[in-house]
Structure 1
Amino acid sequence: PWENSNGNKAAHPNSRFTVSIEHVPTLSKEFENPKGAPISAILIGGRRSQLIPLVVEGFNWQHGVFIGASNGSETTAAALHKIGVLRRDPMAMLPFCGYNMGHYFGHWLNMGEKLASPPRIFSVNWFRMDEDGEFIWPGFGENIRALKWIVDRVHGRVGARETPVGLVPHLKDLELDGMNLSEERLEKLFEIHPRAWDDEVLGIEKFFEQFGQTMPEMMWEALRTLKANL
Structure 2
Amino acid sequence: MEAQAFAIDGERTARVTRTTKETDIQIAINLDGAGRTRIDTGVPFFDHMLDAFGRHGLFDLDVRAVGDLAVDAHHTVEDTGIVLGQAVAQALGDKRGIVRFGTSFVPMDETLVQASLDISGRGQLHYAVDVPLQMLGTFDTSLAKEFFIAFATNAGITLHVRELTGENAHHIVEATFKAVGRALCDATRVNPRIAGELPSTKGAL
TM-score by length of 1: 0.27
TM-score by length of 2: 0.29
